[in-house]
Structure 1
Amino acid sequence: MTITLTAAATLADRLEALLPQTQCTKCGFDGCRPYAEAMARGEAAANRCPPGGAEGIVRLSALLDVPPQPLDPERGVEQPRAVARIDESLCIGCTLCIQACPVDAIAGAVKQMHTVLPDWCTGCDLCVAPCPVDCIEMIPITGEKTGWAAWSAAQADAAHTRYLTRRARLVREREENDARLAVKAVAKLRALEAEPAMSEAERAALDRKKAVIQAAMERARQKQAAARPRNTENVSPAVQAQIDAAEARRAKAGLTGTPSAGDAGQDNPDNQTADS
């Protein structure tokens, strides 16, 4: 891959750069970066990535200076790359596939037909299981080519960029939603405080509400700080250029203004989804 690595790059950085960036979680970790970190700590073997296949295992093992092992069968099998396809006649517009896609490769909105952007799909198949009407299938597109023979460094790089862009956007949307909730909560408290002739019991109840709201706001602040994704603030100029290019492509395709499933959440941060 061409993920920019400095001389001071950690072992986890170098391992991540050897992974295909499909973000499929078949390795048992929540994406390529957590898997790379686990390998760097000596907590995971180098044979847990089906999309990378045998060649990927050899690359990772060489960096870790360990003998390559066969692919762990519990993680799946090396196979031709596939892309998701939605049967648009069956799609109900539930947006669950949009929420599951780690690289924003599915476009659509609430109660509207969804479609997969095949050039962006990494073949992770994470969108298949959540679909309540079973209208998504994975279509092999690389013939007999498997592993890195079916997936290029340029494709891995683009997938990595889209993954980072999506995570940064979700954090931004969550922060904006929490800010809206905080404004509403403060306005409600002020309205209650302005009510005349408030009894002592009512004043005590109001104080309890204020304490609850302030505690909730502080928990939200701490959660946001803990959830901020890696590699989105101090990225290299090369990676930032890729992120900018991806955003430009989304804007040109008219995707940035598409209503997201999160719009149906009515200020519920747990309902935030991709706005592909």
Structure 2
Amino acid sequence: MLAAILAIAAIATFFGLLLGYSAIRFRVEGDPIADQIDSLLPQTQCGQCGHPGCRPYADAIAKGEDDINKCLPGGEPLVLALADLLGREPVAMEVKEKVPVVAVIDPNACIGCTLCLQSCPVDAIVGAAKQLHGVLSGECTGCELCLAPCPVQCIHMVPVAEDIPRWRWPYPGGHAQGTKPVTPDQKAA
């Protein structure tokens, strides 16, 4: 019995040392700029930027393969933060800013299939199998990824009520219409 325990301990020690050596010898360095960009992104994994998630978008920005103005959930504040991090000029959002929307589930039509729960990248939909589902409106990013999998089309996108934090001054020729945002240097001039 003692011999078996010692043999297993020796094998575990050998493989532990082998794994430790491999981790040092074959270490893959990440891109620190991509890591910083990824930490700024909203992590909604919605795909509205044209990439399958936030990390691939961060990698593309770091390599210079994509621009900093494609993340709709991050919006203008994210563009300004990325421009500051990368030392670039802020640019207008490439994706036209649309009216903010949130998913709403029709309680009379929901069959509790859980397909919308599985497709939501931010876990804004709550519910259980064969039970009515609901949407946490404060968490919903309006990415519309829950619409396609719903077999009964009981999910609808409705505009978010305009309140003080979401209100923007409606001026012609402003950032929402495609001009460059005003930087702090331009405000001082």
TM-score (normalised: structure 1): 0.44
Structure 1: gaps spanning 5 or more residues:
1-7, 148-276
Q: Return the offset for 1:113.
A: 2.0
- SS in structure 2 at match of 1:17: helix
Q: Which residue does the alignment assign to 2:133?
A: 114
Q: Deviations over 1:94-151 (max 9, x none)?
A: 221111011222222333322223333333221122222221122333517279xxxx
Would the alpha carbon gap of residues 89 and 25 (structure 1) be closer, same or farther in structure 2, given more than 3 Å must change?
A: same
Runs of 4+ in 1 over 6 A off after TM superposition: none
Q: Which residue does the alignment assign to 1:92?
A: 111
Q: Return the offset for 1:26.
A: 0.3
**RMSD of equivalent CA atoms:** 2.6
Q: How does 1:125-140 map to 2 (within 5 A)?
A: 125-140=144-159
Task: Assess if the C-alpha contact under 8 Å between 2:102 and 2:141 holds in 1.
Answer: yes
Selected match of 1:124 from 140, 143, 165: 143
User: Which residue type is aligned with residue 33 of structure 2?
Assistant: L
The 2-side partners of 1:146 and 1:59 are apart by 20
The 2-side partners of 1:146 and 1:10 are apart by 35
Q: Percent identity?
A: 52
Q: Which residue does the alignment assign to 1:13?
A: 35
User: Which residue type is aligned with residue 37 of structure 2?
Assistant: L
Would the alpha carbon gap of residues 120 and 58 (structure 1) be closer, same or farther in structure 2, given more than 3 Å must change?
A: closer
Q: Which residue does the alignment assign to 1:78?
A: 97
Q: Deviations over 1:39-88 (max 9, x none)?
A: 11222111111222233222212322222322224xxx224543211001
Structure 2: gaps spanning 5 or more residues:
1-29, 169-189
Q: How does 1:1-276 map to 2 (within 5 A)?
A: 10-73=32-95, 77-143=96-162, 145=166
Task: Assess if the C-alpha contact under 8 Å between 2:73 and 2:141 holds in 1.
Answer: no
Q: Which residue does the alignment assign to 1:165?
A: none
- SS in structure 1 at match of 2:36: helix
TM-score (normalised: structure 2): 0.62
Q: Count residues with an aligned counterpart.
A: 137
User: Which residue type is aligned with residue 32 of structure 1?
Assistant: C
User: Which residue type is aligned with residue 77 of structure 2?
Assistant: E
User: Which residue type is aligned with residue 145 of structure 2?
Assistant: L
Q: Which residue does the alignment assign to 1:193?
A: none
Would the alpha carbon gap of residues 54 and 28 (structure 1) be closer, same or farther in structure 2, given more than 3 Å must change?
A: same
Looking at both structures, which has the greater relative contact order when contacts are Cα pairs under 8 Å and sequence separation is at least 6?
Answer: 1
Rg larger in 1 or in 2? 2
Would the alpha carbon gap of residues 122 and 19 (structure 1) be closer, same or farther in structure 2, given more than 3 Å must change?
A: same
Q: Return the offset for 1:9.
A: 8.1
Task: Assess if the C-alpha contact under 8 Å between 1:53 and 1:146 holds in 2.
Answer: no
The 2-side partners of 1:59 and 1:81 are apart by 21
Task: Assess if the C-alpha contact under 8 Å between 2:113 and 2:130 holds in 1.
Answer: yes
Q: Return the offset for 1:27.
A: 0.3
